[in-house]
Amino acid sequence: MILTNLSRASAPAKVVLLGEHFVVYGSPAILGSIDRRIRVSAQIIRPPQIIIRSDTGFSASFAANKLDECGTNLSEAQKFTYPLYFAAHEVISGSLNAKAAKLGVEIDIHSDIPYGIGLGSSAASCVATVAAVGSLFLKRDRHWIFTRAHRAERLIHKSSSGGDCYVSTFGGLIYYIRNGKNRKIKTRRSVSMILVNTGIKHSTKALVSLVENFRNQNTSLFDDLANSATHICDQAALALTEDNPIKLGRLMSRNQRLLETLGVSTVETDNLVRYCLDSGAYGAKLTGAGGGGSVIALVPDEYKTEFEYKLLEKYSYQCIPVQIKSYGLMKY
């Protein structure tokens, strides 16, 4: 049954507080959804096409009644939006009446999540697209949406742990284990950080495969690092519930050193992290895949203004205050 001709969904960006990369191999990670979102609207159209448009100016069109291959014949806009097309196509082809009626969908995307700096914009767009297209046909629960969004995200990097899609779907502060039992971490106060955007865009896929090579060549060192990462996450989960920012900051900085050993940090990021610590942060580390991207710094409230000023004085990097919010996916 088709419920509606138009539906809307929005999904949040995320930061990885701790545990990135190791989470791909079964260690935990702590992720939080933040107050930046991607909004997707989906509308039934009669020609069996899937049209994807974004406020950044691109527009791509695909077949809805068969799955277009992701080959070299696709335009740049089609390649970029292919995972969203794949997700929408899967939802439509799984809906018997849409298939029978040979319907298509027009998808419009509006985002305030900067792309390629570790904030999970790809995962959020997959989550919001699956939710918006899914609700055109049936009521869908979050697990249904997460599973399909993760499948689509895996076209971007096939080893994705699913953490980004999970936190974007369910929201809040999550202790995440790939294929494991995830739980929300409850805090007394909302956690806020300063995100420093180096402006250096990265490819998550390339960095995840760099770590895979590192692991293949340094098996026992990798296992030691992964054990330390697990311990750090467990301690950090406690520090968060105990509202102990000093301990949390120290753990973040220890996690950064593990990421430096893996080779996913850059000289600029290492220097930036040290500068954040010298400028009053309790702790700082890269967030997400690394290779440039962003650094998160846990800064005492009373130093935040001075901290941002010091960073602007030395670097021209953009500082974005981020707050962990409990809202995940929203449909309306």
Q: First vs last Cα of the chain: how many Å apart?
A: 18
Closest CB to ligand MEV among 61 and 168?
A: 168
| Residue positions annotated with a catalytic role | 164
Give the range of 16-24, 48-56, 232-240, 273-281 binding ligand MEV by CB under 6 A.
16-24
64 in contact with ligand MEV (CB under 6 A): no
- Asked if residue 128 lies in contact with residue 38, where contact means CB atoms within 8 angstroms, the answer is yes
Q: Which of 126, 164, 232, 284 binds ligand MEV (CB under 6 A)?
A: 164
| Block residue for tokens 């020609």 | 47
- Report d(CA 20, CA 32) in Å as an integer: 12
Closest CB to ligand MEV among 17 and 64?
A: 17
249 in contact with ligand MEV (CB under 6 A): no
Please give the angle made by the CA atoms of 240, 245 and 249, to the nearest 5 degrees: 100
Give the range of 17-25, 33-41, 223-231, 294-302 binding ligand MEV by CB under 6 A.
17-25
Q: Is 102 exposed, middle or buried (0-12, 13-18, 19+ CB in 10 A)?
A: exposed
Closest CB to ligand MEV among 53 and 150?
A: 150
Q: Which amino acid is at 210?
A: L
- Least distance to ligand MEV from the beta carbon of 252, Å? 15
- Asked if residue 9 lies in contact with residue 128, where contact means CB atoms within 8 angstroms, the answer is yes
Q: Which of 13, 23, 145, 239 binds ligand MEV (CB under 6 A)?
A: 23
279 in contact with ligand MEV (CB under 6 A): no
167 in contact with ligand MEV (CB under 6 A): no
- Least distance to ligand MEV from the beta carbon of 260, Å? 15
Shortest-Cβ-distance residue relative to ligand MEV: 161
171: left (phi over 0), alpha (psi -120 to 50) or beta: left
Q: Which of 9, 13, 16, 103 binds ligand MEV (CB under 6 A)?
A: 16
| Both tokens assigned to 288 | 């997400």
- Report d(CA 165, CA 16) in Å as an integer: 12
20 in contact with ligand MEV (CB under 6 A): yes
Q: Which of 11, 21, 121, 320 binds ligand MEV (CB under 6 A)?
A: 21
DSSP H helical segments within 157-286, as ranges?
Answer: 163-170, 204-217, 219-241, 245-262, 267-278
281-310 mask for ligand MEV (x: CB under 6 A)?
-------xx---------------------
Q: Which of 9, 18, 24, 329 binds ligand MEV (CB under 6 A)?
A: 24
160 in contact with ligand MEV (CB under 6 A): yes
149 in contact with ligand MEV (CB under 6 A): no
| Block residue for tokens 């297209």 | 133
Torsions phi, psi for 227 (to 5 deg): -65, -40
Give the range of 20-28, 53-61, 249-257, 299-307 binding ligand MEV by CB under 6 A.
20-28
- Asked if residue 59 lies in contact with residue 52, where contact means CB atoms within 8 angstroms, the answer is yes
Q: Which amino acid is at 108?
A: D
Give the range of 4-12, 78-86, 156-164, 272-280 binding ligand MEV by CB under 6 A.
156-164
Q: Which of 12, 28, 120, 328 binds ligand MEV (CB under 6 A)?
A: 120
- Report d(CA 124, CA 40) in Å as an integer: 10
- Report d(CA 19, CA 95) in Å as an integer: 37
Neighbours of 268 (CB within 10 A): 14
Task: Kindly list the residues in this chain that would bind ligand MEV in the complex (CB under 6 A).
Answer: 16, 20-21, 23-24, 120, 160-161, 163-164, 204, 208, 288-289
